[in-house]
Amino acid sequence: RHQLNEYLSGKRKGFSLPLKPEGTTFQKSVWHELLKIPYGTTTTYATIATAIGNAKACRAVGRAVGANPIFIIIPCHRVIGSSGKLTGFAYGLDVKRFLLGCEGSYGSSM
């Protein structure tokens, strides 16, 4: 809770927590890539698909991002559409916009 409060107030850029999310091998590979997205930046589903070695898996990446069980900690909010627009987020686009705003990253890309 302390780390989350620090993050939301802009005092923390990452989390030091033991993470062992449950998911498929594919989902875990996507979530691992999400952890590499630097604070204050965004990336696209296509970039993640390419990074995991399957450039055509954008939709599958989107489903894996949506299945992320530890949002904020595994920063799925940093993934945007190829057009640069905010796209689906399990907690709503207003929450995604808020989190990106906390990081000052809406409009920045990896």
pLDDT in tens, 9-25: 777 677 777 778 899 99
Catalytic residues: 76
Q: Would you state the torsion angle of the CA atoms of residues 105, 66, 44, 52, taken in this order, to the nearest 10 degrees?
A: 130
Work out the pLDDT band at 110, boundaries 50, 70, 90: very low
CATH number for the domain formed by residue range(s) 24-103: 1.10.10.10
The model's pTM is 0.84
Average of per-residue pLDDT across 22-44: 95
